[in-house]
Amino acid sequence: MIEQACVEKILQAAKIEEVVGDFVSLRKRGANYIGLCPFHNERTPSFTVSPAKNIFKCFGCGEGGSPVHFIMKHEQLDYPGALRYLAAKYHIEIEETQLGEEESRQRSEREGRFAVNEFACKYFEHCLWETEEGKAVGLSYFYERGFSDAIIKKFHLGYSPEKKDALFTEAVKAGHNKQYLFDNGLCFETEEGKVLDRFRGRVIFPVFGISGKVVAFGGRVLKKTEHTGKYVNSPESEIYHKSNELYGLYPAKQSITKNDCCYLVEGYTDVMSMHQSGIENVVASSGTSLTQGQISLIHRFTPNITVLYDGDAAGIKASVRGIDLLLEEGMNVKVVLLPEGEDPDSFAKGRDSSEFIAYLQQHATDFIHFKTRLLLDDAGDDPVKRAALMNDIAGSISVIPDAMLRSVYIKDFSRMFDISEQVTAREVSKKRSRKLSDAGKSVPVSRPSYRPVQPVVDMEGKSESVFAFKEERNLMIFLLLKGKETMDIVLPDGQTLCLPVEEYIERSMQDDGMEFEDPVHRRIFAELKAGVRGDAQSYFLNHPDAEVQKAVFSMVDDNTAYPENLETDKGLSYYVQRAVLEYKSRMLDRKARDLQQRIKAAGNAEGIAVLLEEQKQLLELRRRLAKVLGGRIVSRV
């Protein structure tokens, strides 16, 4: 873990206009800056950066927060990753808390393995661009395939020399642990004890993990031989699990988030060609069936996926079987069938992004309908094959977690095959029950989204689930923005007591045995009571918990709880006391309502007496509130 003092140093150094300015062209407007939002497509700037508050806010999509939140969202990093990013930007040395011996060993080994891959990637790039063999064999191959220098460099393509141990020799000479070269599958040892480079004589496609580190390599042989496969890939290792990686995800993730859609293709060159044509929200499964881990990766950035198929019928039928996993994950799946003889690589050549996107939009088909037509063509009029087809489609519909969507497909399916909806619904239900029973779980209501940070929502929307949410939120705003300031409280005997705002609110809550209902509010309040180092607003805006960040940003961005200039109005004390009394009044409203419901059900005298006592408290509280506000308060019971 990063030392807290180091975290504070990073947060103090990070200026929102500098952090955002690395990614967005900002224009000065008054005290703030404006620009085009990087999180959604827009033509008119609605994205504002406030140096004074050290926050950003998009009035188009609602996204907003601190420098840490911006990096978490834009670079799709977790909290520690965002801190490390900012530390590197501001040249701050990371100070870690002391690790145990075993933890230190594991971290050292993991870092060593990544360092070896990073060295290999740079070495292969060097060989491609700087050696005669690399230029003559590797670079000429990429040029023949139509790739530009920019794309070759963007994907860090390389070349591994024919010499049997060229990489091994250079890596050891550079001080890298030879065991990591073996562990990562870059080199291997023969039975005779000779060391060989796994990718010798091949062009290299590095595979980057979601954080941007090199986790594996793919190598394509250029010479035709009988005993060598066209592609060789890194084996599984401590840092590479094929089922949890997608080629091209790292350079695609921002575009996927921005476009709220991911295109899925098969191979390395498909991804590269689409990037070259201007379409960047694309990843490849690298010739394997989709896994649950890969699907979850995509779902972190978008629920919308479009699968691109070439005209190979056998290949389509084989891959279609794996698409049910996408449906089961609750994703919106579409399919585009490219013209016969074309694949994404060839189709992208010579077409710009507008032409390509227009084709994709015009030919995108809902997956269930695509699969139905595909299997219908194969089944023809054969009743046995048609029955099997209908069972297959019913199985695909059954895995969809959204009940409403299942219902729509059941209607379409029944109409298409001219059978009753009841029969279809019964078959789908039977298959769904069997699948869930086999998996040992109950029917889920919905599948959760895996996108790391959603746009800020209107916090008033919680009022249905949290009775006094608005009143709670007003108190939280005072705690966060004015908590350390002092306020004067006039006691019953006429004396004046001076208290910090946070202490007054805490005492008021304790006096009546109340606590915040919203769990995020409770967490913030608990941390405030325990003591927060430095500025509370900055602390919570940069909190490790994204929900806390989001809630606090919403409060900081809200100025409805009190006027901007308290001194020229009725004073801080007035507004804080009013907020506390309104919250207590609202909570008593609920108690009174609850009691009324119980009395209505029970009808006993004792209950009525309790209710009357509560009503007395409510009236007394309202008299106090009226005295503070100088007005009459109407009960909401």
Question: Residue 175: is its pLDDT beyond 90?
Answer: yes
The conformation of residue 463, written as its DSSP 8-state character, comes to: G
Sequence-separated contacts (24+) of 571-576 with Cβ below 8 Å: 571/487, 572/482, 572/485, 572/487, 572/501, 573/487, 573/488, 573/489, 574/628, 575/478, 576/478, 576/482, 576/487, 576/501, 576/504, 576/505
Q: Which domain CATH number covers 13?
A: 3.90.580.10
Residue 507 tokens, joined: 């005492």
Cross-strand partners of 48: 34, 57
Last residue of a domain, one of 67, 89, 111: 89
Same domain, 170 and 318: no
The reported pLDDT for the residue numbered 621 is: 62
**Higher local confidence (pLDDT), 174 or 537:** 174
Q: Which domain CATH number covers 293?
A: 3.40.1360.10
- Asked if residue 45 belongs to a domain, the reply is yes
Note whether 487 and 576 are within 8 A (CB).
yes
Question: Residue 603: is its pLDDT beyond 60?
Answer: no
Per the structure, the count of domains in the chain is 4
Q: Which domain holds residue 54?
A: 4-89
Same domain, 527 and 433: no
Same domain, 25 and 128: no
The reported pLDDT for the residue numbered 585 is: 75
Same domain, 41 and 105: no
Last residue of a domain, one of 56, 89, 122: 89
Same domain, 174 and 216: yes
The reported pLDDT for the residue numbered 511 is: 76
Cα distances (angstroms) measured from residue 519 to each of 161, 360, 547, 553: 59, 44, 10, 16
- Asked if residue 452 belongs to a domain, the reply is no
Closest to 198 in 3D by CA, of 229, 177, 172, 226: 229
Last residue of a domain, one of 208, 240, 272: 240
**Higher local confidence (pLDDT), 565 or 144:** 144
Question: Residue 350: is its pLDDT beyond 60?
Answer: yes
- Asked if residue 450 belongs to a domain, the reply is no
Same domain, 547 and 608: yes
Question: Residue 495: is its pLDDT beyond 80?
Answer: no
Note whether 233 and 216 are within 8 A (CB).
yes
Same domain, 489 and 582: yes
Q: Over the Cα atoms of the chain, what is R_g?
A: 31
Question: Residue 167: is its pLDDT beyond 50?
Answer: yes
- Asked if residue 252 belongs to a domain, the reply is no
- Asked if residue 446 belongs to a domain, the reply is no
Reported as a pLDDT band with limits 50, 70 and 90, residue 61 is confident
Same domain, 74 and 140: no
CA atoms of 331 and 295, how far apart (whole Å): 9
The reported pLDDT for the residue numbered 559 is: 56
Same domain, 132 and 236: yes
Closest to 584 in 3D by CA, of 509, 517, 532: 509
The CA-CA-CA angle for residues 53, 58, 61, to 5°, reads 145
The reported pLDDT for the residue numbered 469 is: 74
- Asked if residue 58 belongs to a domain, the reply is yes
Reported as a pLDDT band with limits 50, 70 and 90, residue 635 is very low
Per DSSP (E only), the strands in 119-238 are 158-160, 187-189, 195-197, 202-208, 214-221, 231-233
Same domain, 360 and 274: yes
- Asked if residue 80 belongs to a domain, the reply is yes
Note whether 268 and 218 are within 8 A (CB).
yes
Residue 575 tokens, joined: 């507004």
Q: Which domain CATH number covers 109?
A: 3.90.980.10
Proportion of the chain above pLDDT 70, given as a percent: 82
Same domain, 142 and 225: yes
pTM of the model: 0.64
- Asked if residue 122 belongs to a domain, the reply is yes
3-class secondary structure, 64: strand
Note whether 49 and 34 are within 8 A (CB).
yes
Same domain, 50 and 107: no
| Span of 30-39, 182-191, 303-312, 581-590 with lowest mean pLDDT | 581-590
CA atoms of 594 and 614, how far apart (whole Å): 11
**Higher local confidence (pLDDT), 328 or 321:** 328
How confident is the model over 556-597, as pLDDT tens digits? 776 555 555 555 556 788 888 888 888 877 777 776 677 666
CA atoms of 163 and 157, how far apart (whole Å): 19
